[in-house]
Amino acid sequence: MTSLATHPQRNSLRLQLKQNDMLRRMSAAQWSELEPLLTVSDYRKGDPLVRQGDEQMLQFFVLDGMLKRVVSNPEGREMILRFAAEGEMDHSYAAWRLRTPVPYSIVAVTKVRTAELPLPAWAEFLDRHAEVKARFEYEVMKLMSEVMAHTITLHLLDAPGRVLRFERKHPELVGRIPKKELAAYLNLTPETLSRLKQRLC
């Protein structure tokens, strides 16, 4: 974990951050205020960034690689709720606002580099910048809606329908997600996913 301001690749990292969906419309003054709060972290494939039940919460902006949000039951059965890749973000903002532990884990699907900051510091920044806060809260609601739609899809669509919906909704991720991870997300076995993809092509 290295401060963005002192990172040896800080200039290229700043350019990557300025392409982030959430941050791209910020003013120069807002960037000057946010940058000192950010640290850059590198994670290996499979590393947890946040564990289900944690009470310490962070705001993540994905610079490289891919994350998954996953929930587990006491028996260890997992359900993947969403993926986030370069230019996207992940967080536990709702849990922080509700003062509850994080209800899911955030895990590196591939090698991942993030710019991150503690959620209390991010929330204080948002409180000083109403237009950024409005965009962020809209994105939070959109993500929650997407997770809900995915959960409903698992119950309402058959296996081919789930595969086709994913390819239609997330063309940018097709071919990037490891087959095992995508199969788990769609509640399929890897073998079934392979058969379906061959049949649907």
At 157-192, the pLDDT tens digits run 999 999 999 989 888 888 889 889 999 999 998 898
Tell me how far apart the alpha carbons of residues 50 and 76 are, in angstroms, rounded to a whole number: 17
Please give the average per-residue pLDDT across 2-27, as a whole number.
Answer: 91
Query: What is the C-alpha to C-alpha distance for residues 46 and 121, in angstroms, rounded to an integer?
Result: 27
Percent of the chain at pLDDT exceeding 90: 74
Which tokens belong to 29?
């003054």
190-200 and 159-169 helices, crossing angle to 10°: 70
For residues 56-71, give the mean pLDDT.
95
Predicted confidence band at 49 (pLDDT cuts at 50, 70, 90)? very high
The residues that bridge with 70 in the sheet, in sequence order, are 80, 105
Q: In whole numbers, what is the pLDDT of the chain averaged over residues?
A: 92
Are the CB atoms for 105 and 69 separated by under 8 Å? yes
Residue 10 CA neighbour count, 13 Å, CB half: 11
Show the CA angle centred on residue 63, arms to residues 84 and 190, nearest 5°.
35
Residue 26: pLDDT band (50, 70, 90) is very high
Rounded to an integer, what distance in angstroms lies between the CA atom of residue 129 and that of residue 168?
35
What pTM was estimated for this model as a whole? Answer: 0.90
Q: What is the mean pLDDT of residues 25-54?
A: 95
pLDDT of residue 201: 63
Cα–Cα–Cα angle for 82, 86, 167, rounded to 5 degrees: 50
Tell me the pLDDT tens digit for each residue of 90-147: 999 999 999 999 999 999 999 999 999 999 999 999 999 999 999 999 999 999 999 9
H/E element, 54: none
Asked whether 71 and 78 are in contact (CB, 8 A), the reply is yes
**Can you say whether residue 99 is alpha, beta or left, with left for phi > 0 and alpha for psi between -120 and 50 degrees?**
left
Amino acid type, 188: L
Q: What is the percentage of the chain residues whose pLDDT exceeds 70?
A: 100
Reply yes or no on whether the pLDDT at 30 is more than 90. yes
pLDDT value of residue 12: 94
